[in-house]
């Protein structure tokens, strides 16, 4: 069964071809935009072309953000300088602020604690990644840094990208999906270095930040394909990844790489002729970049219909390519199960290392499933600094994608998927108590409380909608742009 699928996935691969066409003919895939709608339609058409037995749209309504104009001006009392910048998402539709610039370094909690009396009324400067941090220091997502700045009274936020070459980065600045009350923008690494040199020399710098954006209601659709199961059809294994992208480029790596791998995986399953015991659901989520909107809508609907209990596990492909193993977050038995299923993959291809990691993480479409108690799995990978440096930026285009990364995505994830579908039994889901303990042990309680998502022991979180951007185990390393 695995060999037949693997040969189909390797010899008749189409994912890179489809991604290349999408990059040339659709462009970006921002949720709610005409390009986003066309991406939904194209994905549906490709899945029909693949002969997938069951196809549907899962529509949802959302409040989406799109950029307008941004102006960033630095002054020292004697002259002014305009800086290249991009606005972050969920920033105000209209904002104009000016204030003294305060450097908060990496923007971690300890920096805010040390300088808290100086933050109020100022524009703060913070790194996206970690710079000159002690080994083992944990980073925060940009939305968490923005939340700390707002809590301490900052009137504006300027993030410094950590990638050389004048690269500007976008992404959400909201921890819960709601518009934030202050403007936030990103500047290039080189400009950040120059500004900090001037601050260290004692120059009193002021920053003016103006922007216009658009926030409004949109209709979007997750694209869903199913291969029905046989004797265990009432159980489901779900593999998903987001189809939407930011608008600065074509989003080829984030996340065309994962999305079109999923489409090709569905094709290879159907073409192999295998009939899985459990139902396979392939989902291309929209709205991930602007708030995990599509995945949250799907989990909410699955919960309301009682179908959530059918989902035995969720595999998330978000900027994954050429996996060397899998990360697993589940109660007892899940790590052992996935570990045992990697051995048959290694028997097919000895280049697959079969690395297993356990560790809960947030900020991608697996998050709503995990917080509902569903075990989650993610491919482990390292796409290289040239890819991660273009994350959320104007250089995220198809020239970054290695076609074999997509082929191996389909091969290795698909072989795991089929084994999960055909296993006699699978371990159970999290109980709420187990999940709370696990998230606390992984150090995620405070992050979830900041977003109003904590449901474990202790005082309840303040209300929140739970949207943040993403973090990926395959790319996290000290000082990188991945949080």
The pLDDT confidence band at residue 468, using thresholds 50, 70 and 90, is very low
Average pLDDT estimate for 160-181: 93
Q: Which residues pair with 59 in a beta bridge?
A: 221
What's the pLDDT at 456?
74
Residue 163: CA atoms inside 13 Å, Cβ hemisphere, count? 20
Nearest-CA neighbor of 67 among 189, 206, 222, 186? 186
Average pLDDT estimate for 301-324: 97
pLDDT at 479 over 50: no
Angstrom distance (rounded) from CA 246 to CA 170: 8
Block residue for tokens 């919960």: 303
Average pLDDT estimate for 112-122: 94
What's the pLDDT at 460?
63
**Cβ atoms of 283 and 300 closer than 8 Å:** no
pTM attached to this predicted model: 0.93
Q: Which residues pair with 217 in a beta bridge?
A: 63
Which domains are assigned to the chain?
A: 2-64+217-433 (3.40.630.10), 67-213 (3.50.30.30)
What's the pLDDT at 463?
53
Average pLDDT estimate for 198-220: 95
CB atoms under 10 Å from CB of 303, counted, come to 13
CB atoms under 10 Å from CB of 228, counted, come to 14
Question: To the nearest whole percent, how much of the chain has pLDDT over 70?
Answer: 95
Average pLDDT estimate for 453-482: 51
What's the pLDDT at 397?
96
Structure-block tokens of residue 210: 């103006």
**Cβ atoms of 200 and 111 closer than 8 Å:** no
Task: Report pLDDT digits (tens) over 82-111.
Answer: 999 999 999 999 999 999 999 999 999 999
pLDDT at 464 over 70: no
Task: Report pLDDT digits (tens) over 286-297.
Answer: 999 998 999 999
Rounded to the nearest 10°, the torsion over CA 298, 244, 479, 394 is -170
Q: Output the average pLDDT for the chain.
A: 93
CB atoms under 10 Å from CB of 428, counted, come to 15
Task: Report pLDDT digits (tens) over 361-389.
Answer: 998 999 999 999 999 999 999 999 999 99
Residue 420: burial class (beta carbons within 10 Å; 0-12, 13-18, 19+): buried
Question: What is the DSSP track for 432-453?
Answer: HHHHHHHHHHTT-HHHHHHTT-
pLDDT at 481 over 80: no
What's the pLDDT at 84?
97
**Cβ atoms of 237 and 315 closer than 8 Å:** yes
pLDDT at 34 over 90: yes
* Better-predicted residue by pLDDT, 228 or 455: 228
Spatial neighbors of 263 by CB under 8 A, at least 6 apart, are: 15, 18, 43, 46, 47, 50, 282, 284
């Amino acid at each position: 069964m695995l060999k037949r699928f693997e040969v189909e996935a390797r010899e008749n691969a189409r994912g890179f071809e489809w991604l290349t066409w999408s990059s040339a003919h659709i462009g970006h895939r921002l949720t709610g935009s005409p390009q986003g709608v066309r991406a939904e339609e194209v994905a549906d058409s490709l899945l029909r072309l693949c002969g997938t037995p069951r196809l549907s749209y899962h529509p949802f309504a959302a409040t989406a953000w799109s950029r307008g104009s941004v102006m960033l001006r630095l002054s020292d009392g004697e002259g002014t300088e305009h800086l290249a910048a991009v606005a972050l998402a969920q920033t105000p539709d209209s904002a104009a602020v000016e204030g003294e610039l305060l450097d908060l370094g990496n923007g971690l909690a300890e920096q805010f604690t040390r300088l808290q009396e100086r933050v109020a009324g100022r524009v703060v400067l913070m790194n996206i990644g970690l710079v000159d941090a002690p080994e083992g220091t944990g980073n925060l997502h940009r939305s968490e840094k923005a939340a700390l700045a707002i809590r301490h009274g900052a009137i504006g936020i300027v993030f410094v990208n950590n990638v050389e070459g004048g690269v500007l980065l976008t992404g959400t600045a909201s921890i819960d999906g709601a518009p934030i009350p202050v403007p936030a923008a990103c500047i290039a690494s080189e400009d950040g270095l120059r500004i900090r040199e001037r601050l260290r020399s004692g120059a009193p710098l002021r920053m003016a930040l103006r922007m216009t954006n658009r926030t409004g209601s949109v209709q979007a659709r997750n694209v869903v394909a199913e291969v029905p199961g046989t004797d265990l059809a009432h159980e489901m294994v779900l593999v998903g990844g987001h189809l939407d992208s930011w608008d600065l480029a074509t989003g080829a790596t984030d996340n065309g790489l994962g999305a079109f791998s999923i489409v090709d995986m569905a094709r290879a399953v159907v073409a192999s002729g295998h009939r899985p015991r459990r139902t396979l659901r392939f989902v291309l989520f929209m709205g991930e970049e602007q708030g995990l909107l599509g995945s949250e809508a799907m989990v909410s609907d699955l919960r309301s219909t009682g179908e959530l209990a059918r989902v035995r596990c969720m595999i998330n492909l978000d900027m994954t390519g050429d996996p060397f193993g899998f990360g697993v977050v589940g109660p007892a038995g899940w790590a052992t199960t996935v570990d045992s299923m990697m051995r048959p993959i290694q028997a097919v291809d000895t280049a697959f290392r079969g690395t297993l990691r356990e560790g809960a993480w947030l900020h991608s479409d697996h998050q709503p499933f995990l917080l509902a108690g569903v075990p989650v799995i993610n491919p482990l990978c390292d796409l290289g600094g040239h890819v991660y440096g273009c994350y959320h930026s104007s250089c995220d285009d198809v020239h970054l994608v290695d076609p074999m990364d997509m082929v191996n995505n389909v091969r290795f994830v698909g072989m795991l998927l089929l084994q999960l579908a055909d296993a006699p039994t699978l371990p159970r889901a999290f109980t709420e108590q187990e999940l709370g303990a696990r998230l606390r042990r992984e150090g995620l309680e405070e992050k979830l409380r900041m977003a109003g998502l904590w449901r474990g022991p202790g005082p309840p979180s303040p209300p929140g909608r739970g949207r943040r951007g993403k973090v990926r185990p395959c790319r996290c390393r000290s000082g990188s742009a991945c949080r």
